[in-house]
């Protein structure tokens, strides 16, 4: 599958008759909502784990030196914390462009606290897209992130802002925080040279 998913996502009609839809953000959408929304609430989804396994050729890296950003992978028993935004369908075109590098729209159940839930929308980059970077050790991921930058800024900024946003949500994400720890150590070592 091509990394550019705009045309595929524009064909999704599941929410066409809705006046508003919940969007679940688990990466940069948590800390960078560059779209209009009606409401914003902490939320989580079940059965998915956040991983820095998606290559970024268009935002936090380049084709020659891709960065790494998060996607979700299925994992039994996992709970992924994030931020949900109530949006109108008019926002889809903007989101499809923002998430065009391999992310597909999927329908998911979004949970607000213990009892409340709603059907919503999520963007996930699977291993079928050509930008998928795949698994690597947290140290190797940190090394790649430390070197990468793109039109949206340094890849390290993305990681650090995501880690900060997860702490503010009270979410303990061992994968993200381990990469952050390695990145900060790499930056200290580079500064000492």
Residues recognised as catalytic: 99
3-state secondary structure of 77: strand
Give the C-alpha separation, 40 to 3, whole Å.
Answer: 29
Give the C-alpha separation, 97 to 114, whole Å.
Answer: 33
3-state secondary structure of 20: coil
Nearest to 49 by CA among 26, 23, 80, 82: 80
Q: What is the DSSP letter of 19?
A: S
Q: What is the DSSP letter of 5?
A: -
Give the C-alpha separation, 101 to 20, whole Å.
Answer: 25
Q: What is the DSSP letter of 163?
A: H
β-strand pairing of 149-150 with 116-125: unpaired
């Amino acid at each position: 599958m091509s990394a550019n998913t705009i045309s595929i996502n524009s064909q999704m009609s599941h929410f066409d008759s809705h006046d508003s839809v919940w969007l679940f953000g688990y990466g940069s959408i948590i800390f960078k909502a560059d779209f209009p929304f009606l409401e914003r609430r902490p939320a989580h989804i079940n059965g998915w784990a956040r991983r820095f396994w998606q290559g970024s050729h268009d935002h936090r890296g380049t084709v020659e030196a891709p960065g790494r950003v998060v996607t979700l992978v299925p994992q039994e028993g996992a709970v992924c914390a994030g931020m949900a935004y109530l949006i109108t369908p008019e926002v889809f075109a903007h989101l499809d462009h923002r998430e065009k590098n391999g992310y597909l729209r999927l329908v998911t159940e979004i949970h607000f606290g213990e009892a409340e839930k709603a059907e919503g929308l999520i963007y996930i980059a699977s291993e079928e897209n050509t930008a998928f970077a795949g698994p690597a050790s947290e140290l190797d991921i940190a090394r790649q992130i430390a070197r990468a930058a793109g039109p949206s800024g340094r890849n390290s900024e993305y990681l650090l802002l995501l880690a900060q946003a997860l702490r503010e949500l009270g979410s303990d994400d061992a994968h993200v925080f381990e990469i952050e720890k390695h990145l900060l150590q790499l930056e200290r070592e580079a500064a000492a040279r």
